[in-house]
Amino acid sequence: GLAIATERSQSSMHANGLRPSGTYTVTGSLTEEQHTRLSKWVKDQGGPENAGTPLVLDRDAKWLSTSVSGVDAQHVETRRLQVEEICRGYGVFPIMVGHSDKTSTFASSEAFFAAHRIHTLAPWHKAWRDRLDETLLDGSGSLFVDFDTRYMVAGSLKDRAMWARTMAETGIWTRNEIRDEDGKDPLPGLDEPLTPLNMSTGKQGSDDEDQDNAAP
């Protein structure tokens, strides 16, 4: 409600060219017809199209301003607070809607993106997964719902290439698992993990020694 009222108030001020309203006083009494004509004349002098036009007064008239300017009303600060309050209500970090202050850096922005995925999206994803699994799928069966957020945490091409090579060459991931992580279909012959030639397990070394001892 505060955001809507503030929006309407500032919109009205901008529609009037941010010129202050006030009181127009003259000497003597005005008839009803004179008051109507004078009110219409004063209103015609306002608006953004008449900004900067001199206001010529007669009958010892005086103009007394009764409102503040847009700068005094702190429009920029108020509108910034509006964005932050709306984001607060929805649990969204302001930087995700393109609103950031001067203290935000590239490194802190990356942390905000990660926090957005964990603290804003994850609760919604869990709620949707539970509801869809309960109403559309088989509950505790083999079918399940999941949200693919890998694109939100994907690094640069160079970093991804280094990660994929390390995981494949050390045998931690198979090459088809890496392809699946990138959203690609599996290929024949890539389901076996690679084993570096200069590495072996202790069990394999013991088996080799037993075979050497058993040889004639």
Long-range contact pairs involving 164-173 (C-beta distance under 8 Å, separation at least 24): 168/194, 169/194, 169/196, 170/194, 170/196, 171/195, 171/196
In angstroms, the CA 45 to CA 109 distance is 48
Q: Is the pTM of this model over 0.75?
A: no
For residue 48, the 8-state DSSP code is G
What is the mean pLDDT for each group of 10 consecutive residues in the chain (216 residues)?
Answer: 79 64 78 86 75 74 67 72 86 84 69 84 90 79 81 79 90 91 88 79 55 54
User: CB neighbours (10 Å) of residue 89?
Assistant: 9
Alpha helices in 26-135 (DSSP H): 32-45, 75-90, 106-115, 122-135
Give the H or E element holding residue 189. Answer: none
